[in-house]
Amino acid sequence: IRWLTFQGCPFRGHDESQESLNRGNFLEMVKLLASYNKVVKYIALENASRNAKYTSSDVQKEILGIV
């Protein structure tokens, strides 16, 4: 999150659906981290309930507000 913010990168993509090839910088960064970290993969991508992934656009805006 800090890297995206410091680099001035947008968090959200044009199409964040599951079928999209590029879901935006934030979601793609989570996927990248999950590919290197089993805990992130398990918690953020595999084990989180559908309504509690904390990756929605509203949550992304809240994170930016905190940072």
Rg of the chain taking only CA atoms, in angstroms = 12
pLDDT one-digit tens code per residue, 17-59: 777 777 788 888 888 888 999 888 887 766 666 655 556 667 6
- CA–CA distance, 33 with 66 (Å, rounded to integer): 21
Q: How many domains does the chain have?
A: 1
Top-confidence residue, 6 or 14: 6
Evaluate if pTM is beyond 0.75: no
Residue 18: give the domain boundaries.
2-66
Instruction: Give the pLDDT mean for 5-9.
Output: 82
